[in-house]
A and B are shown apart, each in its own frame.
Chain A
Amino acid sequence: MDRKIILLVEDNPDDVELTRRAFEKANLTNPMTVVNDGAKAIDYIKGLGEFGQNDQHRLPAIILLDLKLPKVDGLEVLKEIRNFQPTQLTPVIILTSSLEEQDLINCYLNGANSYIRKPVDFNKFTQAVQQLGMYWLLLNELPPNPES
């Protein structure tokens, strides 16, 4: 049985590294695909561009999405995900630094499943990731995968 893929959309390599570390510390070993801007995120989901020829890519089980992204920002990516039929039900967790009210409202309005502010204290971040992984990958029943 295939492991559930996690798609991480994050431009800051430090954050990518720290996120991976947090996942490892939380004993979540699901394969993680990383794309580092909004345009690539959309390409990956729709199987376009460099991901077009690659049969190996599979739709993620959950998507971790940063808001401040190069090229296309996180909110736009979120809208595309929701408008694209195969991913319209895929859980999207917003993972960002901001706690601006307008961001929160916009994300939930556009169908974000969860909104998590990355704490500066790495221990707290590890805790958050652990709970998040536990909930979304283990406890939560995901919608039926349209590909299977």
Chain B
Amino acid sequence: MKFKIPEYFPGWKYIAAFVFFSLMIILLGFINLKIQRATLVRLTSERLESISKYKAEEISNWIRERRSDANYVNRAGNMHEYVNRFIDHPEREDLRRYILDHIMPMKDNYGYEDILIVDSTGKIYISLTPLGDSLSSDAQMILLNSIKFRNAKFSSFYYCKYHNKIHIDFYSPVYIGMNDSTTLRAMLLLRVDPSRFIYPLIQSWPVSSRTSETLLVEVKDDSVGYLSELKHRPGSTLRLKLPLHNELLPAAMAAKGYTGFSEGIDYRGVRVFFYTRHVSGTPWYMVSKTDQDEALEPLSYWWGRTLPGVLVMILLGLLVLYLIFLQRKKDHFRNLYKLESQRLILTQHYEMVMQRANDVILLLDEKGTITDCNERAMGVYGYSREELVGFNASKIIAPEAQPPYRQRLTTEPPEEGFLYDSIHVKKDGTRFPVEVSSRVIYFQGKKYYNGIVRDFSERAKYQQMLIQERNRAQNYLNIAGSVIIVLDHEGNIELINKKGSELFGYPQDEIIGKSWFDHFIPADVRTTVREVFTQLMSGNIEGPEFFENSALTATGEQLILHWHNALIRDENGKVIGTISSGEDVTVLRAKERELERLNQELEERVQVRTEQLEIANKDLESFSYSVSHDLRAPLRSIDGFSLALLEDQAEKIDEKGRDYLRRIRNASQRMAQLIDDLLRLSRITRQSMSLQEVNISQMAKQICAELAETAEYSKHTVTIGEGILVTADPGLMKIALYNLLQNAFKFSTGVADPAIIVDSVIRSGVREIMIRDNGAGFDMRYAGKLFGVFQRLHTPQEFAGTGIGLTIVNRIIQRHGGSISAEAEPGKGATFYFRLP
């Protein structure tokens, strides 16, 4: 059976996390163990060191005391002398007694096993125990080699076969004579039983311990000898010897002089912790040791507590893993359930769509065989389901629609599918137009065509009607005299009438569908016009009802069209296009522009002229100013000095000369008069005017009253019409009227009943002001000269004057934009008429 990991199995992620967690727990336990062990080792080390130190000191002290005992006995009183003499005379009982009296108390009081006196050959002279005696090998060596020494020495532990026990001897030398410098004569030996003090000291342990012990060892040749009783091997004292080179053996390490704590394997072959040191003042080394098993015993207690904890943690991890597994399993099946129910709903939807659809739905395989269809298909084509499924689709396609159908079957379909019109055939042979939407689908590795077929016979009928309606409308539009054009939302031409196509020079069908802006709007304004149109379409602005713009014809000619626009809206009120009627106003606008240009030119010309005139006026002003000053000065000199000649030199000049001088004076005064007249005239020309209503009747009355004060004018009859009003500059009008009236007075002075009439009359339909007199009059032949500067129709002898008066009048009337004329007959008076605008 093939095992398959279920999908809901917790991923490797979870398992890895669990393994990592477990390893961490184990690692933590292990590290803790190590720490615990290190602590125990350290405690052991400290304990071993302090015990070792204490015992070594005790041993050292004990040795020192014994040595001083030996020295003391030897040197007390006349011991030397007595010993020397006793050895010479062993028989003397008195000597013997003396010595014994001396050493006996020592033995009893200090617990020595025996006190001996031997001579230099090793022969025993005195012993306190009855048994036969032997000497330690150390003592024998000293005697043999006659080694001189002064302070007491001691032997190591040695086995005495006579006593069958272990001894330590302390010995003190006895020399011949008092000054010690000569030959060794004898030795005093104090023998100690180690089991009485030193062995218990070594073997005792301050706390209870199964395995802890202290040993004393010494070097013997190349091996290490055990001096004290071994706790774990009784009876091995002084008998056990082990090789010195064994690095792990604590005793060997001690014998090599190593001081300190270490681990090793002891004489039993058991792992131990030990502390070694040298015992000062002795050739011995001390080993304090404890079995590792005992020292590390608490560790097993720790194991007993920690291991279950670790296991519980790992089990907890496993439990969590299992819970995740369960959760995932639950989710998995819940998802499966959800997907399944969704699929069920989709299937139901599909069934509903497929079977209840208003359109025919067909499913074809790669070769065009119908593999499935809906109920509507049966209704439309008239075949039963059995007849349809399994047949090739060409059965329902009209013969003329087959080639494109087959071509579509063989070509690679586009992503979005096909959408085309075709003609299908029913079982009874009825043909009907359809719209087919087809899409390729892949199902279980096979290629299928899903086709939705819609019968649009009804729609085709309406379309036909619409086209007819449209053609009729087009005909109406075509007989219109204006350009009519419809633009769609994008600005493409949807419709244009005959007048429009003729004007633009394209056939009608060529224009339809083209972009209005790209083809008919000049490039320089295209962007602007299009932007306005876009705004109009989006409803952002309200377009003007009327406007004008340029448009291009086929020949590239630019026309100006005057448009009348309306927006076309759909049923929702959204703007979807425009309809416009346009008139070609190209020629009209060109004429208007020409007119405007001419006007402009004229205005500019007037402007230039005005400026020139102003300059000329300025010139004239400064000219007349200098004239009034400078031209008169010479005249004054001429007149003045002529008079001076007449007065001062009268007797030297004859009558004729005096006449000439008088003529010179007359001429110069007349010239001054002429200059003044000219200045007056020019002043009138330059003077600024302010027009207002002037009452001519009143003004004439006032002037006539002034003139009539002169004696010669007092006989005149003056008639003035009432209420004559004109619009004029009052100052200038007064000058004009004054001159005219003065002339009338002047020229009528000579007649019998001089009469002057001032009135307003209508001549040739225009109102004019009339000033008439019944005086001298003049010949109309010279009327043209009447208003010229200094032109006179009478001699100065007849009437005084320079001939400037009427010139001034004429200039004033002209400045008002009016005109003046005169009618006269010699001897019958003159009439002047002037009109003002």
**Do A120 and B669 touch (CB < 8 A)?**
yes
Within A90-120, the residues touching B (CB, 8 Å) are 96-100, 118-120
CA distance A118 to B632 in the complex (A): 9
**Do B640 and A125 touch (CB < 8 A)?**
yes
Within A52-101, the residues touching B (CB, 8 Å) are 67-68, 96-100
Known: A21-B644, A120-B669, A121-B669. A68 touches B635 (CB 8 A): no
Please encode chain B, from 624 to 663, with 1 for each CB lying within 8 Å of some chain A CB and 0 for all others.
0100111011011101110110000000000000000000
For B637, the closest partner residue in chain A by CB is A14
**Do A97 and B628 touch (CB < 8 A)?**
yes
Query: Which of A14, A100, A121, A122 contacts B633, CB < 8 Å?
Result: A14
Sorting the interface of chain B by its residue count into under 10, 10 to 19, 20 to 34 or 35 or more gives: 10 to 19
**Do A97 and B643 touch (CB < 8 A)?**
no
**Do B669 and A96 touch (CB < 8 A)?**
no
**Do A21 and B640 touch (CB < 8 A)?**
yes
**Do B636 and A125 touch (CB < 8 A)?**
yes
**Do B625 and A14 touch (CB < 8 A)?**
no
Q: How far is the CB of B640 from chain A (nearest CB, A)?
A: 4
CA distance A15 to B635 in the complex (A): 11
CA distance A65 to B81 in the complex (A): 180
**Do B628 and A99 touch (CB < 8 A)?**
yes
Query: Which of B625, B636, B669 contacts A98, CB < 8 Å?
Result: B625
Q: How far is the CB of A108 from chain B (nearest CB, A)?
A: 18
Q: How far is the CB of A118 from chain B (nearest CB, A)?
A: 6
CA distance A18 to B644 in the complex (A): 9
- CB neighbours (8 Å) of B644 from chain A are 21, 122
- CB neighbours (8 Å) of B628 from chain A are 97-100
Query: Which of B625, B629, B632, B636 contacts A122, CB < 8 Å?
Result: B636
For A14, the closest partner residue in chain B by CB is B637
For B625, the closest partner residue in chain A by CB is A100
Q: How far is the CB of B731 from chain A (nearest CB, A)?
A: 12
- CB neighbours (8 Å) of B676 from chain A are 99
**Do A120 and B636 touch (CB < 8 A)?**
yes
Does B668 make an interface contact (CB < 8 A)? yes
Does A123 make an interface contact (CB < 8 A)? yes
CA distance A15 to B644 in the complex (A): 13
Known: A18-B637, A98-B625. A120 touches B632 (CB 8 A): yes
For A68, the closest partner residue in chain B by CB is B629
Does A127 make an interface contact (CB < 8 A)? no
- CB neighbours (8 Å) of A98 from chain B are 625, 628-629
Within B594-626, the residues touching A (CB, 8 Å) are 625
For A25, the closest partner residue in chain B by CB is B647
For A21, the closest partner residue in chain B by CB is B644
Does B672 make an interface contact (CB < 8 A)? yes
CA distance A122 to B647 in the complex (A): 12
**Do B640 and A97 touch (CB < 8 A)?**
no
Q: How far is the CB of A23 from chain B (nearest CB, A)?
A: 13
Does A29 make an interface contact (CB < 8 A)? no
**Do B630 and A122 touch (CB < 8 A)?**
no
Does A33 make an interface contact (CB < 8 A)? no
CA distance A97 to B668 in the complex (A): 15
- CB neighbours (8 Å) of B633 from chain A are 12, 14-15, 97
Query: Which of A14, A68, A123 contacts B643, CB < 8 Å?
Result: A123
CA distance A119 to B669 in the complex (A): 9
CA distance A144 to B629 in the complex (A): 35
- CB neighbours (8 Å) of A68 from chain B are 629-630
CA distance A65 to B641 in the complex (A): 22
**Do A97 and B669 touch (CB < 8 A)?**
no
- CB neighbours (8 Å) of A99 from chain B are 628, 676
Q: How far is the CB of B72 from chain A (nearest CB, A)?
A: 153
Q: Which of A14, A18, A68, A122 has the most CB of B within 10 A?
A: A122
**Do A120 and B635 touch (CB < 8 A)?**
yes
Q: How far is the CB of A68 from chain B (nearest CB, A)?
A: 5
For A118, the closest partner residue in chain B by CB is B636
CA distance A18 to B668 in the complex (A): 16
- Chain A count of residues within 8 A CB distance of the other chain: 19
Q: Which of A97, A118, A119 has the most CB of B within 10 A?
A: A97
Known: A120-B669, A120-B672, A121-B669. A97 touches B639 (CB 8 A): no
- CB neighbours (8 Å) of A21 from chain B are 640, 644
**Do B629 and A15 touch (CB < 8 A)?**
no
Q: How far is the CB of B684 from chain A (nearest CB, A)?
A: 13
- CB neighbours (8 Å) of B629 from chain A are 67-68, 96-98
**Do B630 and A14 touch (CB < 8 A)?**
no
- CB neighbours (8 Å) of B637 from chain A are 12, 14-15, 18
- CB neighbours (8 Å) of A18 from chain B are 636-637, 640-641
For B628, the closest partner residue in chain A by CB is A98
- CB neighbours (8 Å) of B641 from chain A are 14, 18
For B672, the closest partner residue in chain A by CB is A120
Q: How far is the CB of A88 from chain B (nearest CB, A)?
A: 27
CA distance A15 to B637 in the complex (A): 7
Within A1-56, the residues touching B (CB, 8 Å) are 12, 14-15, 18, 21
- CB neighbours (8 Å) of A12 from chain B are 633, 637
**Do B632 and A97 touch (CB < 8 A)?**
yes
CA distance A81 to B644 in the complex (A): 34
For B643, the closest partner residue in chain A by CB is A122
- CB neighbours (8 Å) of A121 from chain B are 639, 665, 669
- CB neighbours (8 Å) of B672 from chain A are 119-120
Query: Which of A118, A120, A125 contacts B668, CB < 8 Å?
Result: A120
- CB neighbours (8 Å) of A67 from chain B are 629
- CB neighbours (8 Å) of A120 from chain B are 632, 635-636, 639, 668-669, 672
CA distance A21 to B637 in the complex (A): 12
CA distance A89 to B628 in the complex (A): 30
Q: How far is the CB of B800 from chain A (nearest CB, A)?
A: 16
Q: Which of A15, A18, A120 has the most CB of B within 10 A?
A: A120
For B666, the closest partner residue in chain A by CB is A121
Q: How far is the CB of B648 from chain A (nearest CB, A)?
A: 9
Q: How far is the CB of A75 from chain B (nearest CB, A)?
A: 13
Q: How far is the CB of A13 from chain B (nearest CB, A)?
A: 9
**Do A15 and B625 touch (CB < 8 A)?**
no
- CB neighbours (8 Å) of A96 from chain B are 629
Q: How far is the CB of B646 from chain A (nearest CB, A)?
A: 10
- CB neighbours (8 Å) of A125 from chain B are 636, 640
CA distance A99 to B639 in the complex (A): 19
- CB neighbours (8 Å) of A97 from chain B are 628-630, 632-633, 636
For B671, the closest partner residue in chain A by CB is A120
CA distance A120 to B644 in the complex (A): 14
CA distance A91 to B635 in the complex (A): 28
Q: How far is the CB of B625 from chain A (nearest CB, A)?
A: 6
Q: Which of B629, B635, B665 has the most CB of A within 10 A?
A: B629
CA distance A96 to B632 in the complex (A): 10
Q: How far is the CB of A17 from chain B (nearest CB, A)?
A: 8
- CB neighbours (8 Å) of B625 from chain A are 98, 100
CA distance A122 to B638 in the complex (A): 9
Q: How far is the CB of B460 from chain A (nearest CB, A)?
A: 100
- CB neighbours (8 Å) of A14 from chain B are 633, 636-637, 640-641
CA distance A68 to B627 in the complex (A): 12
Within B235-291, the residues touching A (CB, 8 Å) are none
Within B669-686, the residues touching A (CB, 8 Å) are 669, 672, 676
CA distance A122 to B635 in the complex (A): 10
CA distance A32 to B200 in the complex (A): 172
CA distance A12 to B635 in the complex (A): 13
CA distance A140 to B641 in the complex (A): 31
Q: How far is the CB of B103 from chain A (nearest CB, A)?
A: 164
For A102, the closest partner residue in chain B by CB is B625
For A117, the closest partner residue in chain B by CB is B632
CA distance A120 to B668 in the complex (A): 8
Top 6 A-B pairs, shortest CB-CB distance: A120-B672, A14-B637, A122-B640, A18-B640, A97-B632, A122-B643
| New A-B pairs, 4, CB < 8 Å, besides A15-B636, A120-B668, A121-B639 | A14-B640, A97-B632, A120-B635, A120-B636
Sample of 12 A–B contacts (CB below 8 Å): A12-B633, A14-B633, A15-B633, A67-B629, A96-B629, A97-B630, A97-B633, A98-B629, A99-B628, A99-B676, A120-B639, A122-B644
